[in-house]
């Protein structure tokens, strides 16, 4: 059974391996939520499946659990209240430990085949996942489908490809033959074994529960580790569905379902710290806020830790061809999912003396107003506004935005949702600041709040954006300039600060997008995280290679051909 999984998906693996080699465009799972691709009833089926979870018990095939927990509430106002198995961490770890040997000893191909089958089944259930992601994160439907489904699956496959490549980088065996004299050789047969580190813990976040979790989940799994999935208490369902599919595939392939388990908790009784500090956990993948992420990095003991935390993202506007194209592009970037992406810009730096355009100089206020106008237009249609903004995942985010004051040039009030009257919404608040107010804009203000900041010059804009990134982290940077020297200078400074730059984006491509197989997400080179999705560094720490060498007796040469000369040889 399980070797078939590999054969079935091998072509896709090869495509993924090619893609990570050239990092051009590639996607393995279609991003368009079309009935033609996913089946004409797929959307309805997904909705029915999602509704079936509401208020129900979500059963999983895992031990070490007693009782249930759960209390998710959709940011769109729908009570979910699915109940999940409540894990006793100590007992769960005992069950997992028993499951490990068979998986550890399975071939690389068997493990990769299972993982790709899991992705395949996740893909088929992308509509169901879309509703689960939408109603836990507050994303609009289209985004929930794409980021929660195929884009997350692509990120998972990308990690599998890197892990496969890393494991295959060392030959499984070799013959070592050294000449130690004119006719003397020493021969050793050497075998190189992949030894997984043991048990991985993947800590999910509330805004992108699948997209940010799949790389660590699949990288740990295919390298032979068991994985505990610890979802955010507010976004359990998408990962419960994921774990369920993992367990089903593992069982079909003849493995213990405790190899992938869910360890859900509640805000009132969190269990993450207990797991992080447990010596039985050997690998930790974390996505979430910086404060807890820094704690995880410091308290993980000997576990390998891969983090994606938060940062303060900037846009540097130096000069543009046409402001309208830029402000239109920025408006979508700023509004998308109410600024709740780790890649959403927060600070827009504009020289107070204005900027050059093809149509002449635009003052600072002209630029600021163009951005406000772009946002106003984006949100002028209720349906578009609802779909683009989605809802606010966490009340704390709404409160934070409501409290932000100063020179507000666009209010970020609650807006009505056409379908969900109880949705927690905010439109985008824009505040004007001066470069001297560094203490205000150097702080991360997660959510739909943007600062437009007047600087002395683009040089100062670059200095502020890069120094804030070095100090507090940053995951994206938008740059608009028609001057090659400025572009080079900005890229140099931001690269050194570990921030990828997106240069002069207009049209259908946005600074907050990160495409699997091409864009490295988080550089690992500033405080916003220590890892990248995905590269070799993201996978090689999940296993070790341990060798064995065996002496091979030298055959006696036939006596007539055995020379007697003792002349020394090198």
> How many CB atoms are located within 10 Å of the residue 84 CB?
25
Task: State the Cα–Cα distance between residues 285 and 426, nearest whole angstrom.
Answer: 31
The 3-state DSSP class for residue 519 equals coil
The span of 58-66, 153-161, 355-363, 535-543 binding its own copies (CB under 8 A) equals 535-543
Question: Residues 314, 348: contact at Cβ < 8 Å?
Answer: yes
The span of 201-209, 451-459, 460-468, 549-557 binding its own copies (CB under 8 A) equals 549-557
Task: State the Cα–Cα distance between residues 2 and 118, nearest whole angstrom.
Answer: 12
**Stretch 248-287: interaction string toward its own copies, x if CB under 8 A:** ----------------------------------------
> How many CB atoms are located within 10 Å of the residue 238 CB?
31
Task: State the Cα–Cα distance between residues 116 and 126, nearest whole angstrom.
Answer: 15
- Site for its own copies contains 567 (CB under 8 A): no
Q: Decide whether 460 or 495 has the Cβ nearer to its own copies.
A: 495
- Site for its own copies contains 186 (CB under 8 A): yes
Q: Decide whether 206 or 530 has the Cβ nearer to its own copies.
A: 530
- Site for its own copies contains 197 (CB under 8 A): yes
- Site for its own copies contains 562 (CB under 8 A): no
- Site for its own copies contains 188 (CB under 8 A): yes
Q: Quick one: which of 91, 169, 358, 422 contacts its own copies (CB under 8 A)? A: 169
The least CB distance from residue 91 to its own copies, in Å, is 23
Number of residues that bind its own copies (CB under 8 A): 70
The least CB distance from residue 382 to its own copies, in Å, is 24
- Site for its own copies contains 174 (CB under 8 A): yes
Q: Decide whether 102 or 170 has the Cβ nearer to its own copies.
A: 170
Q: How far is CA 522 from CA 61, 158, 342, in A?
A: 34, 15, 9
The least CB distance from residue 391 to its own copies, in Å, is 26
> How many CB atoms are located within 10 Å of the residue 365 CB?
15
The span of 21-29, 137-145, 351-359, 441-449 binding its own copies (CB under 8 A) equals 21-29
Task: State the Cα–Cα distance between residues 405 and 415, nearest whole angstrom.
Answer: 19
Q: Quick one: which of 292, 295, 420, 520 contacts its own copies (CB under 8 A)? A: 520
Q: Quick one: which of 508, 559, 561, 565 contacts its own copies (CB under 8 A)? A: 508
Q: How far is CA 528 from CA 288, 434, 476, 497, in A?
A: 10, 25, 10, 11
Task: State the Cα–Cα distance between residues 496 and 491, nearest whole angstrom.
Answer: 8
Alpha helices in 310-394 (DSSP H): 323-335, 364-378, 382-389
Helices 2-22 + 108-124 axis angle, to 10: 80
Q: Look up residue 210 and give its DSSP letter.
A: T
- Site for its own copies contains 36 (CB under 8 A): yes
The least CB distance from residue 551 to its own copies, in Å, is 5
Q: Quick one: which of 4, 21, 322, 483 contacts its own copies (CB under 8 A)? A: 21
Q: Decide whether 21 or 382 has the Cβ nearer to its own copies.
A: 21
The span of 200-208, 347-355, 386-394, 541-549 binding its own copies (CB under 8 A) equals 541-549
Q: Quick one: which of 7, 14, 34, 382 contacts its own copies (CB under 8 A)? A: 34
- Site for its own copies contains 506 (CB under 8 A): yes
- Site for its own copies contains 442 (CB under 8 A): no
Strand partners, 433: 453
Q: Decide whether 415 or 506 has the Cβ nearer to its own copies.
A: 506
Q: Decide whether 40 or 407 has the Cβ nearer to its own copies.
A: 40
Alpha helices in 23-125 (DSSP H): 35-38, 42-53, 89-105, 108-124
The least CB distance from residue 301 to its own copies, in Å, is 9
Question: Residues 544, 195: contact at Cβ < 8 Å?
Answer: yes
Task: State the Cα–Cα distance between residues 80 and 244, nearest whole angstrom.
Answer: 18
Calculate ∠ Cα 111-113-114, nearest 5°.
65
Question: Residues 354, 523: contact at Cβ < 8 Å?
Answer: no
Q: Look up residue 529 and give its DSSP letter.
A: B
Pick from 535, 509, 510: nearest CA to 522: 535
- Site for its own copies contains 503 (CB under 8 A): yes
The span of 192-200, 340-348, 421-429, 438-446 binding its own copies (CB under 8 A) equals 192-200
The number of C-alpha atoms within 13 Å of 31 and in the hemisphere containing its C-beta is 14
Pick from 305, 295, 322, 299: nearest CA to 530: 305
The least CB distance from residue 283 to its own copies, in Å, is 13
The span of 229-237, 310-318, 406-414, 490-498 binding its own copies (CB under 8 A) equals 490-498
Task: State the Cα–Cα distance between residues 375 and 332, nearest whole angstrom.
Answer: 7
- Site for its own copies contains 176 (CB under 8 A): yes
- Site for its own copies contains 108 (CB under 8 A): no
Q: Quick one: which of 133, 397, 498, 534 contacts its own copies (CB under 8 A)? A: 498
The span of 54-62, 259-267, 456-464, 517-525 binding its own copies (CB under 8 A) equals 517-525
Tokens 């991360």 locate to: 444
- Site for its own copies contains 535 (CB under 8 A): yes
Token pair, residue 373, equals: 């106008």
DSSP string for residues in 385-406:
HHHHH---S-HHHHHHHHH--S
Tokens 């970037």 locate to: 333
- Site for its own copies contains 97 (CB under 8 A): no
Q: Quick one: which of 17, 37, 54, 73 contacts its own copies (CB under 8 A)? A: 37
Footprint on this chain of its own copies (rule: CB under 8 A): 21-25, 30, 32, 34, 36-37, 166, 169-171, 174-178, 180, 184, 186, 188, 190-193, 195, 197, 302, 491, 494-496, 498-509, 515, 518-520, 523-525, 530, 532, 535-537, 540-541, 544-551, 554, 570
């Amino acid at each position: 059974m399980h070797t078939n999984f590999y054969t079935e998906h091998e072509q896709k693996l090869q495509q993924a391996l090619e893609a990570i080699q050239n990092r051009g465009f590639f996607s393995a799972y279609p991003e368009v939520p079309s009935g033609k691709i996913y089946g004409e009833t797929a959307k309805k089926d997904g909705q029915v499946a999602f509704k079936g979870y509401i208020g129900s018990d979500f059963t999983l095939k895992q031990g070490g659990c007693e009782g249930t927990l759960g209390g998710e509430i959709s940011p769109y106002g729908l009570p979910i209240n699915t109940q999940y198995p409540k894990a006793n961490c100590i007992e769960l770890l005992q069950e997992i430990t028993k499951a490990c040997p068979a998986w550890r000893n399975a071939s690389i191909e068997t493990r990769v085949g299972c993982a790709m089958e899991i992705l395949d089944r996740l893909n088929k259930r992308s509509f169901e996942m879309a509703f689960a992601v939408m109603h836990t994160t507050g994303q609009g439907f289209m985004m929930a489908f794409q980021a929660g489904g195929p884009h997350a699956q692509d990120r998972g496959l990308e990690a599998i490809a890197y892990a496969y490549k890393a494991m295959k980088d060392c030959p499984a065996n070799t013959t070592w033959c050294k000449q130690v004299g004119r006719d003397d050789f020493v021969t050793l047969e050497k075998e190189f074994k992949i030894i997984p580190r043991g048990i991985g813990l993947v800590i999910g976040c509330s805004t992108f529960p699948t997209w940010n979790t799949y790389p660590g989940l699949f990288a740990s799994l295919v390298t032979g580790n068991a994985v505990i999935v610890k979802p955010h208490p507010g976004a359990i369902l998408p990962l419960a569905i994921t774990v369920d599919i993992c367990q089903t595939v593992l069982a079909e392939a003849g493995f213990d379902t405790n190899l992938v388990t869910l360890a859900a908790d509640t805000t009132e009784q969190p269990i993450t710290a207990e797991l992080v500090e447990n010596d039985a956990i050997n690998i930790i993948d974390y996505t979430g806020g910086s404060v807890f992420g820094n704690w995880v990095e410091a308290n993980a003991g000997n576990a390998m830790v891969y983090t994606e935390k938060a940062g303060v993202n900037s846009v540097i506007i130096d000069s543009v061809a046409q402001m309208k194209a830029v402000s239109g592009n920025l408006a979508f970037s700023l509004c998308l999912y109410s600024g709740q992406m780790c890649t959403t810009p927060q600070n827009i730096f504009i020289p107070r003396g204005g900027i050059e355009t093809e149509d002449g100089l635009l003052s600072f206020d002209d630029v600021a107003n163009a951005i406000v106008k772009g946002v106003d237009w984006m949100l002028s249609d209720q349906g578009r506004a609802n779909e683009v903004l989605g809802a606010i995942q966490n009340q704390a985010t709404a409160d934070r935005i409501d409290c932000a004051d100063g020179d507000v040039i666009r209010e970020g009030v609650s807006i009505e949702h056409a379908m969900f009257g109880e949705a927690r919404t905010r439109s985008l608040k824009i505040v004007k600041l001066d470069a001297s107010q560094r203490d205000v804009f150097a702080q991360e203000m997660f959510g739909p709040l943007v600062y437009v900041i007047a600087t002395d010059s683009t040089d100062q804009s670059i200095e502020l954006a890069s120094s804030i990134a070095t100090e507090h982290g940053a995951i994206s940077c938008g740059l608009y300039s028609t001057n090659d020297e400025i572009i080079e200078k900005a890229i140099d400074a931001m690269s050194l600060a570990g921030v990828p730059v997106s240069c002069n984006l207009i049209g259908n491509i946005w600074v907050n997008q990160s495409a699997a197989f091409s864009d490295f997400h988080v550089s690992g080179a500033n405080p916003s995280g220590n890892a990248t999705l995905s590269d070799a560094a993201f996978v090689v720490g999940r296993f070790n290679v341990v060798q064995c060498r065996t002496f091979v007796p030298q055959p006696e040469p036939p006596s007539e051909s055995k020379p007697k000369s003792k002349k020394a040889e090198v």
